[in-house]
Chains A and B, each alone.
Chain A
Amino acid sequence: MRYLDSSIIIEMTEQEDWGNGEEIDYHDDDDDDDYGIVDNGDDESSEGRMQDSDEVESGDDDDDDQMVEDEIVVEKFIRTFNNGNYDAEFDDAFSLDRTIMDRTIMTYRVRPTQASYNKPINWRERNRMGLERVKEQLQTCIDSVSDDKTFNLQLIHKSDGHQLMDNEEPIVWHEPILHEYWDRLEAKINQITPMQLVIANIEIVNVEITKE
């Protein structure tokens, strides 16, 4: 929006004064006041205050100049983006993207897609810590099932952004021991009067769910 305003203001000024080309005021008076406040009232501070104000005005002029310059850059781009002048710039930007993505992949340890369907040989050992946590979470679910409580089914293992321990997998593999917990949960739900179960959220993250 603004680039059009500014560009046309410039054009109007250069071509002819139509009398209604008042500048848009981008200044924030409150900000100016804040800059000018000095904590004591002697002459020296007053001078300081005046000086600060001048600096602020000067700074705002710089901002305006920068803004106008920016508008020109943007407008020029919009008018000419398809003529080939920006090809190198586009390609440089994509090159930067590839560099960033390569680095991100190197440092991002939880990558379940690649890992989840390829169990390591020692997966049971590496599954131990996660499995215990899932058991605890299932027990919490079981305990929370009642007629008058909101029921959350949340089984979360190392959601995105959490670093894995060296002896952990990015996913908790299903093991038969969990059947017992699921059965107890179902039994508890079955005890509830029909149409009384209140479910807030179902969130299962990085926990393998097998066929029932």
Chain B
Amino acid sequence: MVAILSNGKVTNSSTIVKFSNTNLCPEGIISLSRLVKVFDRMMWQFSLHHNQIDNMESARCFSMSLKSHARINQIYLTHCNIGSTPEILLVILQSDVEYINMNNNNIESLGAVKIAEFIESDPPIKKLSLCHNRLNDNDAVLISQALKRNTKLRELELVGNNFTSIGVKALLSSVFDSSNLNAIAESNHKLREINLLLGQAPGITSAFNLDIPYSHYLRGRIERLLWLDRTQKILLALQDKDSLLQYLANVPVELIAEVLAFPLHRVDDQCQQRYLTIVYSTMRWWNMPMLYHNCVKPDSKKKRND
């Protein structure tokens, strides 16, 4: 059937190809991979849920077909037992798509090494779902280190793994490590979502009658942390933190003004308050009023006088 479809019969192509729980054999996956090449114009989503992918040749064929495909940017591979063969996991991860769903794949520490390796290579993927696998705190540390090298991933789904507070802190630290300014600079500033907690998802909180303010949920607080951009992280870390201001003191005085002024290039009236505040705090610490003249825009001085 697949061979016939891929034999010059198709004039327009499918947008979605979904083979979910079809007990595909390796040869079936290879045939499907060939079919995908035929569906080159419209197809953008490929699902193979609940099919065992445990053969390297079929995995390579699958991955190659996606790499060469112009439009497919999402692949869904839940319940495919990919974690049992980390080499296959890596091959599939390297399929050059924007979203891969690998929930429920029995991925353990050996797989986590491959995932970290993949993330660190800064691939084009924007969203990676790894929910309900068997990742632990050590794996979270490994992934968090890889995240610091990544500039493209936007969302990471990790609900239902074997994490404790240690793993969560490691992952969040990859996004915001306020120990010093270098650490902040080296943090990941692109990741906008790390989903770790199932019970605090909006639908489930209402189902469980958890009636407390959203920001009091860890999930809500984590989301807010991830909203911060690089500048906001620096500003937040600088507030009331003499150790960081002390760190700034090591920067040559001539450069201080620029360091503090860089956010002003894109400042609006509303945001100006926060920059002024941090400049003010810094000035107090340094006792160098000259910085004020360098950092504050003239129109804000005018406002103050008004």
Q: Does A185 lie at the interface of the complex (its beta carbon under 8 Å from any beta carbon of B)?
A: yes
CA separation between A148 and B227, bound complex, in Å? 50
Residue pair A201, B21 in contact (C-beta under 8 Å): no
- Which residue of the partner chain, among A87, A91, A186, A201, contacts B16 with CB atoms under 8 Å? A201
CA separation between A134 and B306, bound complex, in Å? 77
Q: Does B160 lie at the interface of the complex (its beta carbon under 8 Å from any beta carbon of A)?
A: yes
Q: Does B178 lie at the interface of the complex (its beta carbon under 8 Å from any beta carbon of A)?
A: yes
Contact with B along A180-212 (1 / 0, CB 8 A): 001001100110101111111111111111111
Measured between beta carbons, the chain A residues less than 8 angstroms from B25 are 210-211
- Which residue of the partner chain, among A24, A74, A182, A205, contacts B220 with CB atoms under 8 Å? A74
Q: Chain A, interface size: which category?
A: 35 or more
Q: Does B288 lie at the interface of the complex (its beta carbon under 8 Å from any beta carbon of A)?
A: no
Residue pair A194, B165 in contact (C-beta under 8 Å): no
- Which residue of the partner chain, among B39, B160, B224, B273, contacts A74 with CB atoms under 8 Å? B224
- Which residue of the partner chain, among A113, A170, A207, contacts B22 with CB atoms under 8 Å? A207
Binds B, one of A9-17, A52-60, A122-130: A9-17
Contact with A along B135-166 (1 / 0, CB 8 A): 00000000000000000000000011001110
Residue pair B176, A78 in contact (C-beta under 8 Å): yes
CA separation between A5 and B225, bound complex, in Å? 14
- Which residue of the partner chain, among B5, B10, B15, B306, contacts A19 with CB atoms under 8 Å? B306
CA separation between A19 and B13, bound complex, in Å? 62
Residue pair B159, A97 in contact (C-beta under 8 Å): yes
Q: Which secondary structure dominates chain A's binding surface?
A: helix
Q: Does A18 lie at the interface of the complex (its beta carbon under 8 Å from any beta carbon of B)?
A: yes
Residue pair B160, A70 in contact (C-beta under 8 Å): no
Residue pair A100, B198 in contact (C-beta under 8 Å): yes
Tell me the minimal C-beta distance from B30 to chain A in angstroms.
Answer: 11
CA separation between A78 and B10, bound complex, in Å? 54
CA separation between A211 and B23, bound complex, in Å? 10
Measured between beta carbons, the chain A residues less than 8 angstroms from B178 are 79
Residue pair A5, B274 in contact (C-beta under 8 Å): yes
Q: Which chain B residue shows the least CB distance to A11?
A: B277
Contact with A along B272-289 (1 / 0, CB 8 A): 111011001000000000
Q: Which residues of A approach B to under 8 Å, CB–CB?
A: 1, 3-5, 7-9, 11-12, 15-16, 18-21, 24, 66, 69-71, 73-75, 77-79, 81-82, 86-91, 93-94, 96-97, 99-101, 112-113, 116-117, 159, 170-171, 174, 182, 185-186, 189-190, 192, 194-212
The 7 closest A-B CB pairs, nearest first, are A90-B165, A70-B215, A96-B199, A87-B165, A19-B304, A112-B21, A77-B221
Q: Assuming A15-B280, A112-B79, A210-B23, what are 5 further A-B pairs, CB within 8 angstroms?
A: A20-B273, A74-B221, A81-B172, A199-B14, A211-B27
